[in-house]
Amino acid sequence: MSSGMNMMSRIVFYEERNFQGRSYECMSDCPDMSSYLSRCHSCRVERGCFMVYDRTNFMGNQFFMRRGDYSDYMSMLGMSSGIRSCRMIPMHRGSYRMKIYERENFGGQMSELMDDCDNIMDRYRMSNCMSCNVMDGHWLMYEQPHFRGRMMYMRPGEYRSFMNMGMNGMRMMSMRRITDSCY
> In whole angstroms, what is the distance from residue 50 CA to residue 142 CA?
16
On whether the CB atoms of residues 165 and 155 are closer than 8 A, the answer is no
pTM for this one? 0.88
N-to-C CA span, the chain: 12
What tens digit of pLDDT does each residue of 69-103 get?
Answer: 998 866 666 666 678 899 999 999 899 999 999 99
Contacts of 76 (CB under 8 A, 6+ apart): 70
Return mean pLDDT, the chain. Answer: 89
- pLDDT of 3 > 50? The answer is no
Torsion of CA 53, 54, 59, 62, to 10 degrees: -40
Residue at 32: amino acid letter: D
Q: Do domains 10-89 and 97-182 have the same CATH topology?
A: yes
Distance CA 27, CA 104 (A): 33
Report the topology of domain 10-89. Gamma-B Crystallin; domain 1 (2.60.20)
What CATH number is given for 97-182 in this structure?
Answer: 2.60.20.10
